[in-house]
Amino acid sequence: MVRKIIQWAHEVGGFIGKLARAIAKCHQLLREILRATNVVLDDVAHLAGKTKNAEMFAKAAAITLGCGFGLLHLATKTWLAMLFFSGSVIMSAVSMYLAQNAYTWVKSPFSGLEVQIKKLTELKRGDVITFYYWGLKHDGIVSNVEIDTGDNKDRLTIVHYSWPSLISGRKIVEEEIEINLTKNKVLRHDYSGYTVHHPDEVIRRARMRIGETKFAVFSNRSSHFCFWAKVNETPNDHDLNIKHNLSSQLQYDRPFSRNQGDLKLPQVYIDHRRGKLISTNIYEKRHVRIRSEIKLGDVIEFEFNYGLLHKAICTSIKSSKLSSIVQLTIVHYGSSYTVVEETRSFDLNRDTINVYLYHPLHRFERKDVIRRARAKVNEQNYCIIGRRASHFADSIISRGKDFVITSLDDVQQGDVIIYSYWGLWHEAVVIKKGKGHFEIVHYGLQSLFATREIIKEVLRIDVTKQVIQKKGFKGYHTYPCEVTVDRAISRIGEQRFSCFGNRSFEFVHWCKVVQLPSVYSLQSTGNGNEDNITIMKVVIIPQTGEVHRELFHRNWIKTWDDLIIGSIIQWHQTYGILVSFDKMCNTIDLCYRGFKVIKLHRFRVDWKKNNETIWMYWCNPLKCHSPQDILDRALNRKIRGLNKRIVDLNTRRIEV
C-alpha cells in the first residue's frame, strides 16, 4: 500500500499528489519514531564500540537517555498516542499476514520426492540434485557426468547459482564441484508427474542463463532456476481462442410457450444473474528468463521511471548477438503521459521482465492485440486513478470483460457501451450507428436536479479523445440485436430509477440478457454452406433475480412483456395469482387471499412512472401447472369460499 502511495506521489500532481506525499512522509516519520524507541543497550554497546574513549561512550549514553525521556514525554500527547496505537494495529496486522504466508514465500517450487543416491553413477545429464554448498543445501543441474576416481567421490559439472565469496553477488555459472558421498548426502529430484524437457534441452536452457545476476531470495533462487530449466511450463494456447461459432452456435428463436412441442424439447439451465463469477482473465505472472519466452502481443512488465513497475504491449522483437540482450518494440504510456511506440533494449541477465498470461477465452488474438495497441498511439487519456499504464495494457488485450474500443467498427447495433456521463461511468444501449456518432437509449439526467428518465439521444464519438468501452456478456445468452433494440425502446420515458436495483447497469442487463425461458436453435456453421443447418432446438431456462425455495425466481417487473399469466405477483405485502392484464387500460387482475376471504381485485399500474416495486415469481415450466390450470385452481378456491359463505349465512338465518 505504501509503495503504491509513493508511486502515486511521483506521478500525480495537484492536491492528490500533495496528499500522497504527506501520507508517505507520515509513514517515514512513524518509522523513525519506532526506530528511536528501540534504542536499547545493544545500540549503546554498538556506539561504545565505535567510540575511542569512555567519555564519548558516556555522552552517547546520556544522549540515548535524553531521547528516551523526550519520547516518553511526547507520548503523553493525544495525537502521538493515537499514532502509536495506529502503528501498533498496522504492525500487528502485517505480522499476522507475514506469519501465514512466510512459508509459501520461501518454499521450493518443486514438490516431488528427493531420493538420496548411493553412487555417483546413478546420476545422469540433466538431473536436478541437492548438495551441500557453503554448508547449506543447494540445488543445481548436472551438465556432465564423468566418473574416474570412484563411485563415492568425484567432480561433477554443475550449472547453478554460484556464490564465490561472502562479499560477492550471486551469479549463474557452470563449474566443476567435488562431491563426496561419504561425508555429505546428495539428493536427486524425482520429477515423476511433471512434464519435463529432454535432458539436452534442460542443459541448453540452463546454459542460456549463465551470467545472470538476478538472484532473489523469494522468487529466483537456485531451486527456482532448476525447476524452470527442467519443467515444461509453456502454455499451449497458440491463439486457440475458443469461440461459440467454430462448429455450431445457438440462435435465439422465440420465447417459450407451453405447447406440446416446446414441452418436449431438451432443457439447458444457465446462470444469468448479474455479477456472476466468470473464469479469471490473468492466470499467471511469469518471470522472463530467456528471449524465447516473450511473444508478440504479450503484456510485459518492467522497471520504468523511478524504478517502478510499468506495463506495455510488445509489438516487435529483435534479436542480437548476445543471447541475453533483447530489443523490444512496445506500446505504452511514455514519460510525457502519451501513448507511444518505441524500442527499448533489455539485458535479461540484469533487468527484470514479467509476462502476464491471459486465458485464451478472454483475450484477443495476438495480431488483433498489436493492431489495437498501435491504434491508440498518441492518445492522451492518462489518469492516475483509472487509466494508468496497467489499465491501458489490460484494456488492449482483454476481451473477456468490458474492453476499450479503438474504432467505431468495434460497436454494432444492439451493443452496450460504457462512457463517461456526468463524470461517472455510465451504460447505454446503441440502437443506431452513424458517422462519428451513436444513437443510444439510457437513463439520462438532463440537469442536476432533474428526474432520471430513460431517453433516446445522439452521442458524438471520438475514440482518440474519449475512452469508450464495449460491455462484454461472456457466459450469458443474449437476445439478437433487433430484440435488444426493441426492448430498450419499449422503456423510453420510464422514471423508475433506483440506486438499489434499477440503475443503468440493470437496464442494459435487462435489455441484453435473456430473462425468461426461451427457445434456441442449435445450428451448424462448419460445413461451409450458405444456409445454416438446424441440428436441434433447446429450451434455455435462465437463473435470474433471486432464488426462493430452490424453485422460484423473483424478478422485478419492468414492462408488460415481463408478465406471465398464472405467475405469482407481489405488490407491497400482497401475494396473488396474475389472472389477466390490460395494456390499454394499464390494469392487472390479481386473485389473492384477503382477511379470511379469497378476493379478485383489479389494480392500476404505470410502468413508466410508478416507483412502487412489483415482483413476479416464476418457476421451471415443466415443474409447475399450466397457466390455465393455475387460474382454474385459484378461481375454484374463490368459488368454494363464496359457496361456504352462502351456506354459513343460510345456516345462521335458519338458527334465528
What is the DSSP code string of 244-284?
TTSSEEEEEEEE---SHHHHTS-EEEEE--TT-----SEEE
Confidence grade of residue 519 (pLDDT, cut at 50, 70, 90): confident
Confidence grade of residue 190 (pLDDT, cut at 50, 70, 90): very high
Q: Does residue 330 belong to any structural domain of this protein?
A: yes
Q: What percent of the chain has pLDDT over 90?
A: 24
Q: Does residue 181 belong to any structural domain of this protein?
A: yes
What local confidence, expressed as pLDDT, does residue 456 receive? 94
* Same structural domain, 437 and 508: yes
Q: Does residue 136 belong to any structural domain of this protein?
A: yes
Q: Does residue 145 belong to any structural domain of this protein?
A: yes
Of 509-513, 608-612, 650-654, highest mean pLDDT: 509-513
* Same structural domain, 129 and 43: no
* Same structural domain, 388 and 423: no
Confidence grade of residue 67 (pLDDT, cut at 50, 70, 90): low
Domain count within the chain: 5
Which residue, 496, 512, 528, sits at the end of a domain?
512
pLDDT in tens, 255-268: 887 776 777 888 77
Which residue, 91, 106, 121, sits at the end of a domain?
106
pLDDT in tens, 417-449: 999 998 888 999 999 998 889 999 999 998 888
* Same structural domain, 358 and 446: no
pLDDT in tens, 537-562: 888 888 777 776 657 778 888 888 88
Which of 136-145, 281-290, 326-335, 373-382 is least confident? 281-290
What single-letter DSSP state applies at residue 306? G
* Same structural domain, 130 and 213: yes
- pTM of the model as a whole: 0.53
* Same structural domain, 74 and 156: no
* Same structural domain, 215 and 131: yes
What local confidence, expressed as pLDDT, does residue 648 receive? 61
* Same structural domain, 604 and 634: yes
* Same structural domain, 80 and 51: yes
- Largest Cα–Cα separation, the chain: 125
Confidence grade of residue 645 (pLDDT, cut at 50, 70, 90): low
What local confidence, expressed as pLDDT, does residue 38 receive? 45
Provide the mean pLDDT of the chain.
Answer: 79
What local confidence, expressed as pLDDT, does residue 46 receive? 42
CA-derived radius of gyration, the chain: 35
Which residue, 360, 376, 397, sits at the end of a domain?
397
Strand partners, 157: 144, 176
| Position with higher pLDDT, 619 vs 557 | 557
Which of 41-50, 310-319, 478-487, 603-612 is least confident? 41-50
User: Residues 634-639: what's their mean pLDDT?
Assistant: 76
The pair phi, psi for residue 223, each rounded to 5°, is: -65, -40
Residue 251 has pLDDT above 60, yes or no: yes
Range of the domain at 125: 113-230
Which residue reads 477465452 in cell numbers? 361
Residue 43 has pLDDT above 50, yes or no: no
C-alpha cell at 197: 524437457
What local confidence, expressed as pLDDT, does residue 453 receive? 92
Residue 570 has pLDDT above 60, yes or no: yes
Confidence grade of residue 186 (pLDDT, cut at 50, 70, 90): very high
What local confidence, expressed as pLDDT, does residue 244 receive? 40
What CATH number does the domain containing 302 carry? 2.30.30
What CATH number does the domain containing 208 carry? 3.90.1720
Residue 98 has pLDDT above 90, yes or no: no
Residue of 562, 543, 550 whose CA lies nearest to 502: 562
Residue 373 has pLDDT above 60, yes or no: yes
CB neighbour list of residue 256: distance below 8 Å, 6 or more residues apart: 262, 516, 517, 518, 519, 539, 621
> What distance in Å separates the CA atoms of residue 369 and residue 471, rounded to the nearest whole number?
18
User: Residues 57-74: what's their mean pLDDT?
Assistant: 55
What local confidence, expressed as pLDDT, does residue 41 receive? 35
User: Residues 202-214: what's their mean pLDDT?
Assistant: 91
What local confidence, expressed as pLDDT, does residue 651 receive? 60
What local confidence, expressed as pLDDT, does residue 42 receive? 40
257 in the Ramachandran plot: left (φ > 0), alpha (ψ -120 to 50) or beta?
A: beta
* Same structural domain, 91 and 161: no
Helix (H, G, I), strand (E, B) or coil at 425: strand
What local confidence, expressed as pLDDT, does residue 47 receive? 38
Confidence grade of residue 19 (pLDDT, cut at 50, 70, 90): low
Q: Does residue 258 belong to any structural domain of this protein?
A: no
C-alpha cell at 126: 540433466
Q: Does residue 265 belong to any structural domain of this protein?
A: no
| Position with higher pLDDT, 259 vs 371 | 371
Residue of 577, 441, 458 whose CA lies nearest to 510: 441
Of 16-20, 406-410, 642-646, highest mean pLDDT: 406-410
> What distance in Å separates the CA atoms of residue 310 and residue 328, rounded to the nearest whole number?
14
Confidence grade of residue 297 (pLDDT, cut at 50, 70, 90): very high
* Same structural domain, 90 and 119: no
Q: Does residue 268 belong to any structural domain of this protein?
A: no
* Same structural domain, 387 and 437: no
Q: Does residue 619 belong to any structural domain of this protein?
A: yes
